Chains A and B, each alone.
Chain A
């Protein structure tokens, strides 16, 4: 039972991590919380649903298209909205408000186009379980967990070992200095939105496979946000650790206490952490976290 819960918790935490790392990356570059980020996950899941269920392409292709869709929508938000808000020299609060606006718009559009109906992939999901050491582990959970782990390792590699990552980290430290040294700042930012959007797309599809796809499913973005604050906003490893912690906590609360108290505990963790260590587990500086 314990092992089962743990694996489920880690696999849910992994889905949060796919979103939380995106929050953290964008926050580290632009100092604002991209509230539309959860909606990228929702839209990616819908793109995959459209291709898988309505067009009828094989599930894997639909999933890839869904990920691309989420990446493009994220990229589009940066190109069309955030970049222009930045170029006016407006305070970062405006970016956050812009993001909130887009979040609502995306939800409403999804509601209009797809209705509020809960949809599931027609693709036959692996609902079976396998028995390991007396515990019954969901195959879907295991697939989700492995896929997430591979993606996150790749993400850490990108950030720490490549020139793209070096530029991103330089911009996060000091965008002005990066710019005068010849870093193509706007291009790096746009690439990060593509990357964060595609991770959100994966998260949305995994979440949609496990539960359902519906217009307000982007609200898991809020959980991912909590996880990235717990881990230390702006820190990618922090976002991953915070997500796993939150996923496991939620699963254990649901399993051993009550599933209706799940969110109570998640947000209590957030509040306690903000009181005790406001910079988060991996946080480096405490600043405006609007």
Chain B
């Protein structure tokens, strides 16, 4: 399989504080890859650097065989979209408008129409609430909307930042199902999670981060079988 996303020796800092101290990882086409770690491990910073909403100090990022752009909209156009932490849907836009913003960089009108049907089939609740303001949706529905909004960008790779955060367990399970489903449809996934168990169950590979470094790497199965993991790195 071809490598879709390749991060090499990525370093980033907030002021003088080093949030990433040389992170390398890769996502192959068709894979689900998780990045796990306790709060403050640098997981979200990693996504921000990949999405170019934060400047990196050092390191290379390649997407789809080319160095990644430093402009967020060009990254989305290239097929890499982020579903941000805490959902961050557009509260005063309707569900439909939220989705249209997601499709904002596309010119293929027919494709956009098809993707509207696709996300409404994946999340029928969104179809029911098409004309409602995003802010009026429940937490679970907002997470569906955030995912659907990302799908509308027609990504090759979707990055999820803590998608299970603050959601009821039932909804979390549905969400991981949805991510698996998307992956089956051909979208590669980079998943940032604190919910290590759930994430490892669906992951092909996983990286464990601690204070700005990758400290463990393995297949989802290997890491699931490792009892020492949660105590040592995940702060559980």
A: residues with CB less than 8 A from B are 163, 166-167, 169-170, 172-174, 176-184, 284
Contact = CB atoms under 8 A, between A and B. Distances in A.
Nearest to B106: A182
B153 interface: yes
Contacts of A177: 84, 88-90
Given A170-B93, A182-B105, 8 more contacts: A166-B93, A174-B88, A174-B90, A179-B72, A180-B72, A180-B81, A181-B82, A182-B81
5 interchain residue pairs of minimum CB distance: A182-B76, A173-B90, A177-B88, A182-B73, A180-B82
A171 to B, nearest CB: 9
Interface string B73-91: 1011100011010001111
Contact of B81 (A181, A184, A284): A181
B77 A182 contact: yes
B93 A176 contact: no
Interface of B: 51, 53, 72-73, 75-77, 81-82, 84, 88-93, 97, 100-102, 104-105, 149-150, 153
Nearest to A284: B92
Contacts of A284: 92
16 contacts: A166-B100, A166-B104, A167-B101, A170-B93, A170-B101, A172-B92, A174-B90, A179-B73, A180-B72, A181-B76, A181-B81, A181-B101, A181-B153, A182-B73, A182-B75, A182-B77
Contacts of A176: 53, 84, 88
Chain A binding surface SS class? helix
Contacts of A169: 90, 92-93, 97
Which of A163, A167, A174, A177: most chain B Cβ within 10 A?
Answer: A177
Contacts of B149: 181
Contacts, number: 68
A184 B101 contact: no
Given A179-B72, A184-B73, A163 B104 contact: yes
A173 B51 contact: no
A183 B82 CA distance: 13
Contacts of A173: 90-93
B73 A183 contact: yes
Contacts of B105: 182
A181 B93 contact: no
Nearest to B51: A180
Contacts of B53: 176, 179-180
Which of A169, A178, A180: most chain B Cβ within 10 A?
Answer: A180
A180 to B, nearest CB: 4
Contacts of A179: 53, 72-73
Contacts of B92: 169, 172-173, 284
A166 B98 CA distance: 9
Contacts of A180: 51, 53, 72, 76, 81-82, 84
Which of A169, A178, A182: most chain B Cβ within 10 A?
Answer: A182
Given A169-B90, A169-B92, A182 B153 contact: yes
Nearest to B75: A182
Contacts of B82: 180-181
A166 B101 CA distance: 7
